[in-house]
A = this chain, B = another copy of it.
Amino acid sequence: MKHMFFNDYSEGAHPRILQRLGATNLQQMTGYGEDEVSLEAQRLIQNAIGSPEAAVHFVSGGTQANLLCLASMLKPYESVIAPVTGHINVHEAGAVEATGHRIEAIPAPDGKLRPDGLEPLIERHADEHMTKPKVVFLSHSTEVGTIYSQEELEALSEFCQRHHLYLYLDGARLGSALTAPQADLTLAQIAKLTDMFYIGGTKNGALLGEAIVINNPALQSEFRRHIKQRGGLLAKGRAIGVQFLELFNDDLYFDLARHANRMAHQLAAGIQALGFGFLTPPASNQIFPILPDTLIKHLQVDYGFYIWEPQADGHSALRLVTSWATPEKAVDQFLVDLKELA
């Protein structure tokens, strides 16, 4: 196989992260994430989001972050609103439900929630025989690669405040969303507009790890007990703290995401130049070109990728994912091969 575009976690960690793990390896540190390295990483993130009062916690993965954060915000009868395509609604094996909560899903072909889609759901759920929605879940970038504009996130945030809902953002691919060419949202704005979110490390250069950020002070209390109870409090919390220390020490986190976006953009531009369209407009490091099934079969010989969704007339939408580790040569070669096959 020439290259795998399956996802953005096919490689290990960015070399600088491994180096930093090595450099601090034999220092004795306090356990359970209360070590100096994790504390310093938390401070760097607080600075990056411009909010020294935010609480920052490190956990090992995205599903864990989602189930932890959502369950921490909910009373037993309260539910989460998510787009039908939302990761928690499809690909987390019922993780949110296993904490006792229902997800109320809203159709969203481009993966994005909007106030006019939420409004009727909220009204309907005034009925006390239904769950009471309390958290709005969105992902940025979304499962279909799209991103929210500042205006869109502000509208959602305003809607949530008006209806006493919490706004939660799944940032598994936040780096790519923030550094996309058309992005006009900053990390600091996200921290202002949401109650809680997480900054994805696993899919942007870390070996593993996500940084949960709690902006709403009312939601910060005893959060470590939530983490402990769900099995997320690592004895060697430093193992994740060190990685975020390196990622936010300078602009590494954003530089890695920018590279991923550049690679995706080159792929998208090349594919478009050959006359092919896309399921959703390319924006971040996941793109969804629509190609003939016969061509796809040939591509699969040398390249790894998922077939996302069958389309009309013997075509399908693929998912191509780039990352901090995607070599430019692999992108060039893919386009050369595609041109040849097309």
**Chain A positions near chain B (C-beta within 8 angstroms):** 3-4, 6-7, 9-13, 15, 18, 21-22, 24-31, 60-68, 71-72, 75-77, 79, 90-95, 97-103, 127-132, 202-203, 207-208, 222, 224-226, 228-236, 238-239, 325
A129 interface neighbour in B91, B102, B226, Cβ under 8 Å: B91
Instruction: State the CA gap A228–B64 with chains docked (Å).
Output: 9
Count of identical protomers in the assembly: 4
6 A-B pairs with the lowest CB-CB distances in the bound complex, closest first? A64-B231, A12-B25, A77-B225, A94-B102, A97-B102, A93-B228
Residue in B10, B75, B93, B103 whose CB lies within 8 Å of A28: B10
CB distance from A108 to the nearest CB of B (A): 16
Q: Are B233 and A12 in contact (CB under 8 A)?
A: no
Partner of A9, one of B3, B79, B129, B235: B235
Known: A236-B12, A239-B207. A128 touches B222 (CB 8 A): yes
Interface residues of chain A: helix, strand, loop or mixed (majority)? loop
A196 nearest CB across to chain B (Å): 15
Task: Report the separation of the CA atoms of residues A24 and B92 in the bound assembly, to the nearest whole angstrom.
Answer: 28
Residues of B within 8 A of A97 (CB): 79, 97, 100-102, 131
In the complex, what's the smallest C-beta–C-beta distance from A331 to chain B, in angstroms? Answer: 14
A236 close to B208 (CB less than 8 A) = yes
Question: Whole-angstrom distance between the alpha carbons of A63 and B99 in the complex?
Answer: 16
Chain B residues with CB under 8 Å of A68's CB are 231
List, in ascending order, chain B residues with CB within 8 A of A95's CB.
228-231
In Å, the complex CA distance between A234 and B67 comes to: 14
